[in-house]
Amino acid sequence: MTKWPHVPDCYGWLGLDRRGHWWMRDDSAQCAGAFQSGQPGSRGSMLRHEKLIEFIHRNYEADGEGRWYFQNGPQRVYVELEITPWIWRVEANGQVHAHTGMAAEVKNALVDEKGHLYLSCHQGFGLVHSLDVGVAATCMEDQNWPLVECVSEHLPQMFGYVISPQQGWRGVERA
């Protein structure tokens, strides 16, 4: 870090979608709209390079303001979140893992007004992957995960994360 003491933070160039995929957002993607907007071209290009994805996963964390980033040498690359900082995968036996592979221990489940299922875990808060909602429902009964109703726009403040560090706002952009 002392070799490059004044490397600026990077905003807007990396996104995490609701299925745990990483997206590289070049200038044209950023000009097309916010990552969360759903505008054509605003996502950019999905990352497919396994070693790069593993590198991001190893260095993915949040700062004191709830902005998620990955540490790329001396530079913080802040992440635009589509919905939450973690995407949880749920196995039939009740084991839960993040999109990064990190194991998680569930405290409770939440469902919002749109029917999205979330898990609050000791390791953090995130959305249940859409392919695992049925398994998670069974686990809620089998594992006795309490279910709480919530309002999606309140989740970033409740769980202390920032959807768009680049735009400096909390919550999901509304149409």
Q: Is the pTM of this model over 0.75?
A: yes
- Burial class for 75, CB neighbours closer than 10 Å (0-12, 13-18, 19+): middle
Radius of gyration for the chain, computed over Cα atoms and rounded to the nearest angstrom: 16
User: For the chain, where do the domains classified as CATH 3.30.720 start and end?
Assistant: 86-152
Mean confidence (pLDDT) of the chain: 92
Residue ranges of the chain whose pLDDT lies below 50:
1, 169-175
Q: How many CB atoms lie within 10 A of CB 49?
A: 11
pLDDT tens per residue, range 96-129: 999 999 999 999 999 999 999 999 999 999 999 9
CATH second-level architecture of 86-152?
Answer: 2-Layer Sandwich (3.30)
